[in-house]
Amino acid sequence: MNETANAGAPQQKDHGVLYLGIDLGTSRTSVAASNGVRETLASHVAYPKDVVARKLLKKEVLFGEEALEHRLSCNFYSPLASGHIKWGDGNGAGNAEAEANIKATADLVREICRRARPRKDELLYAVVGVPAQASIRNKEAIINAARETLDSVMLCSEPFAVAYGLDWLDDVLVIDIGAGTTDLCRMHGTMPEEADQVTLAAAGNSVDQVLADLIRKKYPEAQFSMQMVKKFKERYSSVLDTMEPAVVEMPVNGKPTKFDITKEVRDACRSIVPPIVEGLGRLIATFDPEFQHKLRNRVLLAGGGSMIDGLDTEIEKFMAEKLGGGTVLRIEEPLYGGSNGALKIAHDMPDDFWEKLK
Ligand SMILES: Nc1ncnc2c1ncn2[C@@H]1O[C@H](COP(=O)(O)OP(=O)(O)O)[C@@H](O)[C@H]1O
Ligand SMILES: [Mg+2]
């Protein structure tokens, strides 16, 4: 992030305030802070179930991979797992399940802020990027949960944060491939509205599911868990004919055995391309005809799923076939694209704006 991007902001702006860009993702929560710290954490929260578990784990609350690991002895939450918070009426009033997810979200925000290592006397001003659906459905509830830790908070949709981070605000299409959802967002200068967003189920988890089905079909004797399948994918993910051979180990009747899953990985990764291009087509077709060409040629690929090797070129190939052409650019840091952009928004907001949000 470039400090000169704040040209015009008064010098003393940073005094006493730590600015945070937080990406509250369905599977990962990341922070980029104005003190240079960057941290990322799986979006899981776990509370030990009883005295024994609490004694064993020596903690009141666990986060990230550690929470996942000990989920059996805990009450376990992934509060944003479905792309929006699992809160009863959308804003969390009422039932116990909803209340618990709100608490988990508040604790997750507190933990990611703690990891940004603020000084004790610093005020925390944050821009929080959330999945497009959550930004529409759970806005108030997320802000309230975040306020427990933050002095001032503003929400934006994740794809908007990603584009802002690159200064690509004008006529851009963002493809953000997360775990639970792929969010497509059309940007044209102003904040995107509902009509500018498309949410697809074709995303990281669906690739895992397709891969698991293909492996089961080809090697019915192999034993595996979804966690293993996800690891295989993340290690070998590619849509290229020339991809490196994916040879993995899975037990057969308890005995570790090697299997070649190259074709299965490639086919699973390719499965998300047609729905993504179909979604892009919808957003392009409903845009001002004069600018459709520009939009088609400014497509940004972001999110963890964008690390699939060759995906940008594969989407271009499909766009050429189905939409008459297109250019796709992959962002350099998929893990921090959202939080870097959110931090940049935080920096660019004038002081009196933050004061109003307090
Ligand atoms: N190298 C990789 N290749 C393909 N997919 C990956 C890779 N690394 C992570 N992913 C996938 O990216 C998804 C998470 O993306 P992320 O942007 O962090 O999610 P979210 O916004 O949902 O929190 C997961 O499905 C994960 O398996
Ligand atoms: Mg995300």
pLDDT in tens, 107-154: 999 999 999 999 999 999 999 998 776 666 678 888 989 999 999 999
| Domain shared by 106 and 215, yes or no | no
**Per-residue model confidence (pLDDT) at position 9:** 39
72 domain-assigned? no
- With a 6 Å cutoff on the Cβ, whether 28 touches ligand 1 is yes
| Domain shared by 159 and 100, yes or no | yes
Average pLDDT for 65-82: 90
* Domain CATH number, residue 320: 3.30.420.40
246 Cα: distance to centroid of ligand 2 (angstroms): 26
Which protein residue's CA is at the shortest distance from atom 2 of ligand 1?
234
The C-alpha atoms of residue 259 and residue 177 are separated, in whole angstroms, by: 28
Decide if 177 contacts 305 (C-beta within 8 A). yes
Structure tokens at 194: 């509902």
Element (H, E) at 33: strand 28-33
58 Cα: distance to centroid of ligand 2 (angstroms): 31
| Domain shared by 92 and 230, yes or no | no
**Per-residue model confidence (pLDDT) at position 130:** 85
User: Which ligand sits nearest to residue 341's alpha carbon?
Assistant: 2
The C-alpha atoms of residue 320 and residue 89 are separated, in whole angstroms, by: 42
294 Cα: distance to centroid of ligand 2 (angstroms): 25
| Domain shared by 130 and 222, yes or no | no
Structure tokens at 37: 């710290």
**Per-residue model confidence (pLDDT) at position 10:** 40
344 domain-assigned? yes
Structure tokens at 26: 């369905």
Q: State the total domains in the chain.
A: 3
| Domain shared by 109 and 210, yes or no | no
341 domain-assigned? yes
Q: What SS3 class is residue 299?
A: strand
| Domain shared by 157 and 210, yes or no | no
- With a 6 Å cutoff on the Cβ, whether 237 touches ligand 1 is yes
- With a 6 Å cutoff on the Cβ, whether 200 touches ligand 1 is no
58 domain-assigned? no
| Domain shared by 213 and 324, yes or no | no
49 domain-assigned? no
Average pLDDT for 191-200: 83
6 domain-assigned? no
| Domain shared by 279 and 312, yes or no | yes
| Domain shared by 149 and 35, yes or no | yes
Share of the chain above pLDDT 70, in %: 90
**Per-residue model confidence (pLDDT) at position 4:** 38
> What residues make up the domain containing 256?
204-270
Which of 266, 307, 336 has the most ligand 1 atoms within 8 A of CB, as the residue to mutate? Answer: 307
Residues 6+ apart with CB under 8 A from 120: none
Average pLDDT for 188-195: 76
- With a 6 Å cutoff on the Cβ, whether 304 touches ligand 1 is yes
**Per-residue model confidence (pLDDT) at position 98:** 81
Q: Per-residue pLDDT for 7 more than 60?
A: no
**Per-residue model confidence (pLDDT) at position 283:** 95
Which of 41, 237, 312 has the most ligand 1 atoms within 8 A of CB, as the residue to mutate? Answer: 237
163 Cα: distance to centroid of ligand 2 (angstroms): 13
Point out the domain boundary residue: 270, 286, 321.
270
The C-alpha atoms of residue 315 and residue 182 are separated, in whole angstroms, by: 14
159 Cα: distance to centroid of ligand 2 (angstroms): 8
- With a 6 Å cutoff on the Cβ, whether 26 touches ligand 1 is yes
Residue 167: pLDDT band with limits 50, 70, 90: confident
Q: Per-residue pLDDT for 62 more than 80?
A: yes
**Per-residue model confidence (pLDDT) at position 89:** 54
| Domain shared by 39 and 22, yes or no | yes
Share of the chain above pLDDT 90, in %: 67
26 Cα: distance to centroid of ligand 2 (angstroms): 7
| Domain shared by 103 and 146, yes or no | yes
Using one digit for the tens of pLDDT, what is the confidence trace for 305-332?
Answer: 999 999 999 999 999 999 999 999 999 8
Which of 27, 30, 157 has the most ligand 1 atoms within 8 A of CB, as the residue to mutate? Answer: 27
- With a 6 Å cutoff on the Cβ, whether 233 touches ligand 1 is yes
Q: Per-residue pLDDT for 53 more than 50?
A: yes
Using one digit for the tens of pLDDT, what is the confidence trace for 212-254?
Answer: 999 999 999 999 999 999 999 999 999 999 999 999 999 999 9
**Per-residue model confidence (pLDDT) at position 208:** 98
Point out the domain boundary residue: 230, 251, 270.
270
User: Which ligand sits nearest to residue 203's alpha carbon?
Assistant: 1
Please give the mean pLDDT across all residues of the chain. Answer: 89
306 Cα: distance to centroid of ligand 1 (angstroms): 8
Decide if 14 contacts 118 (C-beta within 8 A). no
**Per-residue model confidence (pLDDT) at position 86:** 64
242 domain-assigned? yes
Point out the domain boundary residue: 270, 289, 307.
270
Average pLDDT for 27-51: 95
User: Which ligand sits nearest to residue 83's alpha carbon?
Assistant: 1
The C-alpha atoms of residue 142 and residue 151 are separated, in whole angstroms, by: 14
Q: Which atom of ligand 1 is nearest to the CA of 158?
A: 21
**Per-residue model confidence (pLDDT) at position 80:** 83
φ and ψ at residue 132, rounded to 5 degrees: -50, -40
| Domain shared by 32 and 127, yes or no | yes
Look at 55 and 88; give whichever has higher pLDDT: 55
4 domain-assigned? no
- With a 6 Å cutoff on the Cβ, whether 305 touches ligand 1 is yes
